[in-house]
Amino acid sequence: MSTKVIAGKTVQVNEEGYMTNPAEWTREIAVEIAKEEGIIELTPAHWKIVEFARDKALSNGGAAPTLRTITSNAGVTTKELFTLFPKGPGKKVARIAGLTKPEGCV
């Protein structure tokens, strides 16, 4: 494991840059990671998905939710999810939410 300073806080990350300790996550960290992912501003629609992913993961042993889980339970369509988090929404949501990479993502 290595560490990285995000939004002024040192956090543990894996070799792909995903946080390994969800308890270190803050909303400020999410904003900075979103910028790294090319999302300039997290709107209420973004936060709804990020918060859903965190809640789901924390109640599910820490595993980031899949795209199907998000679209089936968070009140967002696949098209909307790809619009909010272009080019790999599952991975982007997980990174921004301070979670590990979802299973099945390459």
Measured torsion, CA atoms of residues 60, 61, 67, 73, in degrees rounded to the nearest 10 = 10
Q: What is the CA radius of gyration of the chain?
A: 13
Is there a catalytic annotation at residue 105?
Answer: yes
CA angle 89, 78, 93 (to 5 degrees): 25
Q: Is the dihedral of CA 85, 81, 61, 28 positive or negative?
A: positive
- Which one from 73, 75, 83, 105 is the annotated catalytic residue? 105
Q: Name residue, tokens 């400020």.
A: 28
Active site residue ranges: 105
